[in-house]
């Protein structure tokens, strides 16, 4: 099923982001060209914890056999990713 495969990819990306943002905030921010103090690192780690929640939600959702529920989860993540993409594009155009 295509939806399950997309959710699996999203799960993998969320796990990678969670690990890097929580355990290595400085080097992770450096990849994006951002440098900052301890407060920025704490906010980055906090952002990583949201990806832990996403990962757990996705992991649990992948064990459900209801295709309608999976479509709802996929739609939710799609609009979240779309919003994030728009925010980043606006930031790049400034």
Q: What is the structure's pLDDT at 3?
A: 84
Which tens digit of pLDDT belongs to each residue from 31-50?
Answer: 988 888 999 999 999 999 99
Q: What is the structure's pLDDT at 67?
A: 86
What are the phi and psi torsion angles at 88 (to 5°)?
A: -70, -35
Q: What is the structure's pLDDT at 16?
A: 96
22: tokens are: 């929580």
Single out the residue of 93, 91, 39, 85 nearest to residue 29, CA to CA.
39
Which tens digit of pLDDT belongs to each residue from 54-86?
Answer: 999 999 999 998 889 988 998 998 999 999 999
Question: What is the pTM assigned to this prediction?
Answer: 0.81
């Amino acid at each position: 099923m295509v939806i399950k495969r997309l959710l699996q990819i999203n799960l993998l990306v969320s796990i990678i982001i969670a690990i890097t943002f929580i355990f290595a905030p400085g080097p992770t921010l450096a990849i994006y060209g951002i440098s900052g103090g301890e407060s920025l690192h704490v906010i980055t780690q906090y952002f990583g914890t949201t990806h832990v929640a996403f990962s757990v939600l996705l992991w649990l959702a992948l064990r459900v056999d209801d295709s309608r529920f999976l479509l709802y989860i996929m739609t939710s993540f799609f609009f979240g990713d779309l919003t994030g993409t728009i925010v980043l594009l606006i930031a790049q155009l400034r």
